[in-house]
């Protein structure tokens, strides 16, 4: 395998990791706010306290990792995306900052503050929306280069059906992924109220999730035919994704094997995400930038890969330990507020 393929695969794995852990986090923020508004105070908030607080920083690192790696492997992306994304990128950063500080301030009374809880809940939906704009832009047609200057065509972006559907899909997915995880977690914690609430939420959001996924397909056809045809050519990815989706919803409906159900959701998004990424190749920004022309030198590419592998040797056991201690630890999950 060439350096550029390894590079983009590594990055894509990290982006997928971010997609999953951040979705749980973002969705939980929204459900937490919902619980406050509807006065269902109890359960979801405890879940956030006990599961999300120890891992929020790790969530954040997945994202930082992705874009640092992207620029290390493909420095040209900095030029196009960096210039074009000044505004959406900055907005996403401010929202991320609000959320990040929330975790720190939460333990000291801010959690009960409605304004902050509102910001926390709403930012959880706006961040995926603003980040998904990057995926839309990568399909081409929104960045122009004139006389050495790069511009983002805001009006085109705002009037594009495709871009709105991607945004909606990202929001709905966040709510769906998060709910399916919290269903599992609430059951492990033997919190029946939270379990029923999250189960209902999962089932409610499953419909829009799959509907919007199909719409993304359809609108991509008019926006970027080449990519659409590539996706049709690799249809098995998306068929598998659909099968796992059906499996997950079925298990949650039946209230059985909820851990497996969440793994199915992860696989559903995994197949769709990697299928999407695979068919997007070789373009990083259609049609201006491919992985081949923007690649960093071999020496740097190889040292990045070495750094990456040695990093993984360090990270995987540590992450495993983190998850063992907080997520797959029944005693800890059940224990209520004895911090």
The footprint of other proteins (CB under 8 A) covers 53-55, 57-58, 60-61, 63-65, 67-69, 71-73, 75-76, 78-87, 89-91, 93-94, 96-98, 100-101, 103-105, 107-110, 148-152, 296-297, 299-300, 303-304, 307-308, 311, 314-315, 318-319, 321-322, 325-326, 339
* Closest to other proteins by CB, 39 or 314: 314
Distance CA 334, CA 79 (A): 49
Least Å distance, CB 250 to other proteins, is 34
What crossing angle do the helices spanning 235-254 and 161-188 adopt, rounded to 10°? 40
Name 198's Cβ contacts closer than 8 Å, sequence gap at least 6. Answer: 31, 44, 179, 180, 182, 183, 186
Least Å distance, CB 37 to other proteins, is 23
**Residue 226 burial class via C-beta count within 10 angstroms: exposed 0-12, middle 13-18, buried 19 and up:** middle
Least Å distance, CB 257 to other proteins, is 28
* Closest to other proteins by CB, 5 or 246: 5
Name 195's Cβ contacts closer than 8 Å, sequence gap at least 6. Answer: 183, 186, 187
Least Å distance, CB 119 to other proteins, is 11
Q: Are 17 and 292 in contact (CB under 8 A)?
A: no
Distance CA 107, CA 111 (A): 7
Q: Which residues of 40-77 are buried (b: 16+ CB within 10 A; e: fewer)?
A: eeebbbbbbbbbbbebbebbbbbbebbbebbbbbbebb
* Closest to other proteins by CB, 287 or 297: 297
* Closest to other proteins by CB, 83 or 196: 83
Least Å distance, CB 22 to other proteins, is 13
Query: Quick one: tokens of 65?
Result: 């990792």
Least Å distance, CB 138 to other proteins, is 15
* Closest to other proteins by CB, 243 or 300: 300
* Closest to other proteins by CB, 91 or 168: 91
Least Å distance, CB 230 to other proteins, is 28
* Closest to other proteins by CB, 152 or 220: 152
Least Å distance, CB 313 to other proteins, is 11
Least Å distance, CB 54 to other proteins, is 4
DSSP 192-241: HHHHHHHHHHHHHHHHHHHHHHHHHHHHHHHH-HHHHHHHHHTHHHHHHH
Distance CA 302, CA 54 (A): 33
**Sign of the C-alpha dihedral, residues 199, 200, 202, 203?**
positive
* Closest to other proteins by CB, 242 or 327: 327
| Gap between the terminal Cα atoms of the chain | 49
* Closest to other proteins by CB, 58 or 267: 58
């Amino acid at each position: 395998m060439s350096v550029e393929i390894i590079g983009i695969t590594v990055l894509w794995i990290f982006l997928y990791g971010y997609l999953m852990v951040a979705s749980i986090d973002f969705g939980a923020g929204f459900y937490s706010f919902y619980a406050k508004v509807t006065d269902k105070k109890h359960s979801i908030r405890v879940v956030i306290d006990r599961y999300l607080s120890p891992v929020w920083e790790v969530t954040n690192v997945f994202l930082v990792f992705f874009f640092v790696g992207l620029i290390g492997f493909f420095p040209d992306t900095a030029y196009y995306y960096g210039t074009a994304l000044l505004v959406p990128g900055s907005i996403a950063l401010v929202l991320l900052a609000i959320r990040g500080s929330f975790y720190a301030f939460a333990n000291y009374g801010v959690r009960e503050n409605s304004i902050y809880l509102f910001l926390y809940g709403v930012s959880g939906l706006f961040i995926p929306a603003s980040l998904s704009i990057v995926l839309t832009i990568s399909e081409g047609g929104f960045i122009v280069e004139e006389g050495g200057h790069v511009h983002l065509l805001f009006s085109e972006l705002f009037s594009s059906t495709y871009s709105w559907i991607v945004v909606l899909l990202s929001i709905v997915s966040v709510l769906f992924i998060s709910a399916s995880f919290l269903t599992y977690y609430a059951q492990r914690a033997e919190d029946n109220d939270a379990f029923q609430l999250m189960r209902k939420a999962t089932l409610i959001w499953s419909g829009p999730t799959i509907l919007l996924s199909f719409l993304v397909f359809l609108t991509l056809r008019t926006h970027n035919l080449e990519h659409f045809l590539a996706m049709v050519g690799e249809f098995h990815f998306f068929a598998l994704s659909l099968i796992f989706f059906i499996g997950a919803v079925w298990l949650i409906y039946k209230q059985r094997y909820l851990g497996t159900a969440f793994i199915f959701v992860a696989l559903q998004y995994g197949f769709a995400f990697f299928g999407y990424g695979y068919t997007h190749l070789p373009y990083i920004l259609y049609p201006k930038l491919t992985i081949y022309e923007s690649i960093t030198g071999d020496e740097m590419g190889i040292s990045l890969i070495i750094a990456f592998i040695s990093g993984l040797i360090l990270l995987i056991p540590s992450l495993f330990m983190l998850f063992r201690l907080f997520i797959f630890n029944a005693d800890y999950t059940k224990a209520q507020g004895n911090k």
